[in-house]
């Protein structure tokens, strides 16, 4: 397969697996934390050349689940008030916390093989059957996949109590 076709295939796989190309996600982190790609690679626990290959699509995936977990941790830290201010000390503290973290990835922390059923208990904790059904009805026309997810969460709970 030609290099161009391999890259296009890998980018398509990244969209499927990660929601968008990893290069886009990594570039946002580089800008948000005002670091180089090499510095970000160090924080994530991956080599700079490996990060470059993933970003460019020459590699499809991040093989180490802990690296992916750290990437997600950084994305979440962008939303925290102290990091959102852009204060250099807050940015550095967030980077240091993620670099020093030892994330564990298990079936409970990340969906495995696209097993959406892990979302059902979460949905049922935040909304009862009636609310999930109302949300599904509202979303059905514009967001049928989400509406269907809500309906599957209702069904997975079993028959309604009498």
Say yes or no to pLDDT of 162 above 80: no
Given a cut of 70, whether residue 10 has pLDDT beyond it is yes
Are 34 and 91 a contacting pair, CB within 8 Å?
A: yes
Query: Does the pLDDT at position 5 exceed 90?
Result: yes
**DSSP secondary structure string, 95-107?**
HHHHHH------T
Residue 136 tokens read as 């599904």
> ∠ CA 99-105-107 to the nearest 5 degrees?
165
Quick one: pLDDT band at residue 160, thresholds 50, 70, 90? confident
Q: Where are the domains of the chain?
A: 1-100, 116-156
Structure tokens at 3: 């290099």
Instruction: Give the predicted TM-score (pTM) of the model.
Output: 0.64
- Rounded CA Rg of the chain: 19
Q: What is the pLDDT of residue 138?
A: 92
Question: Per mean pLDDT, which range of 7-11, 21-25, 41-45, 118-122 is the poorest?
Answer: 118-122
> Helices 37-44 and 48-56 sit at what angle, rounded to 10 degrees?
110
Residue 47: pLDDT over 90 = yes
Q: Is the pLDDT of residue 105 over 80?
A: no
**Buried/exposed 11-45: b ≥16 CB within 10 Å, e otherwise:** beebeeebeebbbebbeebeebbebeeeebbbbbb
**pLDDT value for 97:** 95
Tell me the pLDDT band of 18, cut-offs 50, 70 and 90.
confident
d(CA 8, CA 25): 17
């Amino acid at each position: 397969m030609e290099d161009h076709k391999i890259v296009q295939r890998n980018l398509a796989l990244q969209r499927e697996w990660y929601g968008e190309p990893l290069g886009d996600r990594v570039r946002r982190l580089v800008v948000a934390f005002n670091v180089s790609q090499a510095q970000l690679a160090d924080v994530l626990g991956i080599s700079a050349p490996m990060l470059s290959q993933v970003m460019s699509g020459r590699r499809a995936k991040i093989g180490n689940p802990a690296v992916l977990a750290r990437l997600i941790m950084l994305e979440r830290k962008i939303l925290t008030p102290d990091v959102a201010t852009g204060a250099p000390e807050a940015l550095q503290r967030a980077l240091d916390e993620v670099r020093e973290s030892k994330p564990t990835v298990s079936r409970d922390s990340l969906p495995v093989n696209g097993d959406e059923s892990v979302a059902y208990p979460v949905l049922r904790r935040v909304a009862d059957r009636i609310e999930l059904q109302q949300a599904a009805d509202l979303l059905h026309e514009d967001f049928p996949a989400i509406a269907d997810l809500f309906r599957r969460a209702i069904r997975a709970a079993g028959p309604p109590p009498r």
